Structure 1
Amino acid sequence: MEEKKKRIYRTIMIIVLTAFVTFMLTSFWMYSNFNENNQTLSITENGGLLKELTSSSDSNIEKYLNKIKTTIDKYYLWNNNINEEDLKNGAIEGYVAGLGDEYTEYIPADKMKDYKDNIMGSFVGVGIYMVADEKSDRVLVYYPIPESPAEKAGIKSGDLIISVDGTEYTAKDFDRIASFIKGEEGTKVNLVIEREGERLSFDLIREKITTNPITIKMLENDIGYLKLPSFDDDTANGFKDKVNELQKQGAKKLIIDLRNNGGGIVDEAVDIADMFLDKGKTIYSSVDNKDKKTVTSSKNDPIFAMNVIILVNENSASASEILACSMQDNERAKLVGTKTYGKGIIQTLLSLADGSGLKITTEQYYTPKEVSIHKEGIKPDEEVNLPDTVKSVYRLEESEDTQLQKAVEMLK
């Protein structure tokens, strides 16, 4: 475990940086220093290089923003109430948004702790995983964490979140709704949800939540079933423990359910693939903006030899797709379900000296067969659609789960 903590995560893990931040982040000098045992990525300021590193267009941006600021100060009616920090954050957020990349974003300093906590799988809240549901235009409860305030109160997978503390939200608010649901430990939050046309109100007390979302059960014919909703910190160790537990219960074959798993920490997916693949097999490769290619391969002999089926659907994305493609291309598992989401890029979270952060797309990844899945997805070996009677892919009864039934049939 200690060795793992010393690694640089190539994904949305925290990379600590030294930074000098100007108003529009125009004076960055980025360099990387790599050696075999240690990797650091730093942003530093060097006064003698500022002129050289700031392009004429950057300079024009700064001059234009200064003119806007001067105009606001001179003419804005409520200029005595201007919050300079809010203006700065808004300007930076807008600048980053101009990239047109939905996965690259600026995180202000006051939101970074919650952001990091979410990545690491520990936070204060009510204990629900959420997704933006386009069909209903609502934020949908994907999964209430076992023993969380939400689960204890009766909130279920598939519930639509209508409002938080009296304020209504839609799917477009997905990126910010979590900040209103979370809060100080011991405080109350009200959620109004919609379930099958009925609206229900829940008063919940926020608690410290440590996620452990992996659930398992035994199926017929010595088949173990494992549902993995996300890739949080230490998920791989939890996965190994759960598979060992299934084997003790008599499991000789395994179904891994990655449906609706939107991803998370890529290294956790890599470590899980390593448990099944022969040493030296390619898990995935990636290319950065300098066309530098990095191949990630399995480092250890496999610890699990059982036959595997992986369930996927249109909401299986990112780290889920890395695990799925590595197992499929290396002929270690069959995929059953529908084509995956198609997020074939990796983000890195840069933590800046002022406490803010920049989550930025840094690499595109390829399957072991060197195929890009970005905006394409992965086609399963056995394409199986759910019945038209299924109201929500997030809340399935086993009797109507034709994808699971097909996986069981293939493992008999």
Structure 2
Amino acid sequence: MGRRQFCSISFLTIAILSIGLSACSSDDDSVSAWTGLTPTAFGMTKEFVYNYNSLYYLYIDKDKYLDSPESYIGKVNTQFLVDEGYPWDFHDIYYMYALMNDPFTNYMDPTRALTYISSWMSSEELMGAGFELDSLKMPDKYIIGQIDRNSPADKAGLKVGDEITEIEGVSLTNETVFKRLTVAERGDTITYTIKRDTTTLTIPVVIDSYRSPTVDISFKDSIPVIKISEFTAYTSNDSGTYGEFVEYLRETEKYKTTIIDLRYNGGGDLDQCIAMAQTLLSKGDTTIGIISAYADTIHKRQAFDTTFYINKTDGFAKDRYFVFLANGRTASCSEVMIAGTVANKKYPVIGTVTYGKGIGQTRSVTPSYSIASITSMKVIDKQRISYHKYGIMPDFTLSDDDEALEKAVALAKDQSYVRIAGYGTVNTGNFAKMAVEPDSMPGFYLLPNEYRKKF
């Protein structure tokens, strides 16, 4: 089975999240028929044929970098990969993907893919009660400063501002006692005694796992600051990051201006970030365009389709003034949200030049239950201009996070600045393979230096 996706950059790992559109078949015989390859020819396995055909039809740079299938057979240092624990029957496939030109086109054999599949569309799974204390009030008082949505604490009825006075009937005398009393496993019940205004309540909380939130809100000089950490379909909200974002927009409807913080957000699910941008736009606004490669199996060739996302109705926050915070780790879907919004509304962007990832990937589970990720999409704005490799320029360049926030607050209060900056003019260098951290790219760095193309 295959799915088209946008890719997120975590800068430790490459996390890919599905947007749920069918991309390619998982049937061995049908994929081998795409190009007429015979799985046994030149020692090719069915898994190799599936992956070669996937690259042939979907990889946007295949004309430059994909050679004939036999050129990848038997060329890799097998003993090197065996010593690293990689199954021998996937070595030729690793080699083939390693010679493609971007770090997001890669392969994971089934021994590595199994634990990764569950994270495609979900935020991190957490275990615990799901609240944090207001550290400014400790150690004298134990005040709840934050509660994760749909966490055990939230479901039990704990609220921000509650003062915890006892746990399991034991008075809290210091932080060490607090930490010891909160140690628990899934299914355990912890009973909290809390003060809420003038009322004392006893609330049992059943410890369980829950999805971490991906959106948070705070206030700076009475200006809402909505921070988005990633874009994913399944989070603490049933509607994913989009649902969390909409909740906070609704809660702050009375405010005429808001800061959206996308610093250190490596991206994620394309459906989510497009829908979120559309809540800020007016009817008829064009959010973004996606050029996608697909398999024209009738003519046995690669074909391309361009889709523009246009607002059919007004977004409910279209009249609010927004300021965006971004930096060099703002990438992928975060850039889509910024570019799609500011191309229409001309809101300011504060920080540093973004990562410059204007491409997306198709990810498929292969016949052997491996994972293949192939760059098959390019992003263009409403003017058909790409920011890929160059990033989005800020209107005010500030590398210090606190200074950038202060400037964003000043602009949010004024509500008059009209964006004049565009896209970067200097290549960020993020798409040379050697610039990628070795542990963040499955496949490529497993190969000895002599097998790597230099770019």
TM range (shorter): 0.5 to 0.7
What SS is found at the alignment partner of 2:263? coil
Name the counterpart of 1:258.
Answer: 262
Distance 1:56 1:368, change over 3 A: closer
Distance 1:93 1:29, change over 3 A: closer
Q: CA deviation at 1:312?
A: 0.7
Name the counterpart of 1:228.
Answer: 228
Of 267, 286, 302, which residue of structure 1 is paired with 2:315?
Answer: 302
Q: CA deviation at 1:334?
A: 1.7
Matches within 5 A, 1:2-151: 10-11=5-6, 12-13=17-18, 17-20=25-28, 22=45, 25-26=48-49, 57-59=68-70, 61-62=72-73, 64=74, 86-122=87-123
Q: Is the 8 A contact 1:317 1:342 kept in 2?
A: yes
Q: Partners in 2 of 1:29 and 1:368 — Cα distance?
A: 33
Q: CA RMSD for the aligned pairs?
A: 3.8
2:241 matches 1:213: no
Q: Is the 8 A contact 1:112 1:356 kept in 2?
A: yes
2:258 matches 1:245: no
Name the counterpart of 2:135.
Answer: none
What SS is found at the alignment partner of 1:118? coil
Q: CA deviation at 1:88?
A: 2.1
Q: Which moved more, 1:233-242 or 1:113-122?
A: 113-122
2:278 matches 1:274: yes
Q: Is the 8 A contact 1:224 1:252 kept in 2?
A: no
Q: Partners in 2 of 1:94 and 1:295 — Cα distance?
A: 35
Of 328, 342, 355, which residue of structure 1 is paired with 2:369?
Answer: 355
Of 375, 388, 400, which residue of structure 2 is paired with 1:374?
Answer: 388
Q: Partners in 2 of 1:59 and 1:385 — Cα distance?
A: 49
Q: Which runs of 5+ in 1 are unaligned?
A: 1-7, 32-40, 43-54, 128-144, 149-184, 187-206, 387-392, 394-400
Distance 1:403 1:88, change over 3 A: same
Q: Partners in 2 of 1:384 and 1:68 — Cα distance?
A: 47
Q: Is the 8 A contact 1:119 1:265 kept in 2?
A: no
Q: CA deviation at 1:346?
A: 0.7
What SS is found at the alignment partner of 1:288? strand
Distance 1:298 1:319, change over 3 A: same
**Paired letter, 1:266:** L
What SS is found at the alignment partner of 2:335? helix
Matches within 5 A, 1:326-345: 326-331=340-345, 333-345=347-359
Q: Is the 8 A contact 1:308 1:332 kept in 2?
A: no
What SS is found at the alignment partner of 2:377? strand
**Paired letter, 1:340:** T
Q: Taking every aligned residue pair, what percent have the same amino acid on both sides?
A: 26
Q: Is the 8 A contact 1:23 1:88 kept in 2?
A: no
What SS is found at the alignment partner of 1:316? coil
Q: Partners in 2 of 1:404 and 1:302 — Cα distance?
A: 26
Q: Is the 8 A contact 1:283 1:298 kept in 2?
A: yes
Q: Partners in 2 of 1:313 and 1:340 — Cα distance?
A: 5
User: What is the count of residue pairs matched by the alignment?
Assistant: 287
**Paired letter, 1:219:** K
Q: CA deviation at 1:56?
A: 9.9
- Radius of gyration: which is bigger? 2
Q: CA deviation at 1:123?
A: 5.0
Of 346, 350, 354, which residue of structure 1 is paired with 2:360?
Answer: 346
Q: Partners in 2 of 1:211 and 1:244 — Cα distance?
A: 20
Distance 1:28 1:96, change over 3 A: closer
Of 306, 322, 343, which residue of structure 2 is paired with 1:293?
Answer: 306
Distance 1:278 1:109, change over 3 A: same
**Which of the pair has the greater relative contact order for Cα pairs under 8 Å at 6+ separation?**
2
Q: CA deviation at 1:90?
A: 3.4
Distance 1:218 1:97, change over 3 A: same
Q: CA deviation at 1:107?
A: 2.0
Name the counterpart of 1:402.
Answer: 403
Q: Is the 8 A contact 2:47 2:368 kept in 1?
A: no
Q: CA deviation at 1:15?
A: 5.6
1:164-204 per-position Cα deviation (integer Å, ceiling 9, x unaligned): xxxxxxxxxxxxxxxxxxxxx98xxxxxxxxxxxxxxxxxx
**Paired letter, 1:383:** T
Q: Which runs of 5+ in 2 are unaligned?
A: 7-16, 33-44, 59-65, 129-146, 152-184, 187-207, 234-239, 294-302, 414-455
Q: Is the 8 A contact 2:281 2:345 kept in 1?
A: no
Q: Is the 8 A contact 1:123 1:208 kept in 2?
A: no
Q: Is the 8 A contact 1:146 1:213 kept in 2?
A: no
Q: CA deviation at 1:95?
A: 1.7
Q: CA deviation at 1:218?
A: 2.6
What SS is found at the alignment partner of 2:341? helix
Q: Partners in 2 of 1:82 and 1:325 — Cα distance?
A: 42
Q: Which moved more, 1:236-245 or 1:90-99?
A: 90-99
2:321 matches 1:321: no
What SS is found at the alignment partner of 1:101? coil
1:37-78 per-position Cα deviation (integer Å, ceiling 9, x unaligned): xxxx99xxxxxxxxxxxx99324644x46x998xx8xxx9xx
Q: CA deviation at 1:9?
A: 5.3
Name the counterpart of 2:287.
Answer: 283
Q: Is the 8 A contact 2:108 2:371 kept in 1?
A: yes
What SS is found at the alignment partner of 1:293? strand
Q: Is the 8 A contact 2:214 2:244 kept in 1?
A: no
Q: Partners in 1 of 2:335 and 2:67 — Cα distance?
A: 41
Output the TM-score relative to the length of structure 1. Answer: 0.60
Q: Is the 8 A contact 1:107 1:358 kept in 2?
A: yes
Q: Is the 8 A contact 1:15 1:349 kept in 2?
A: no
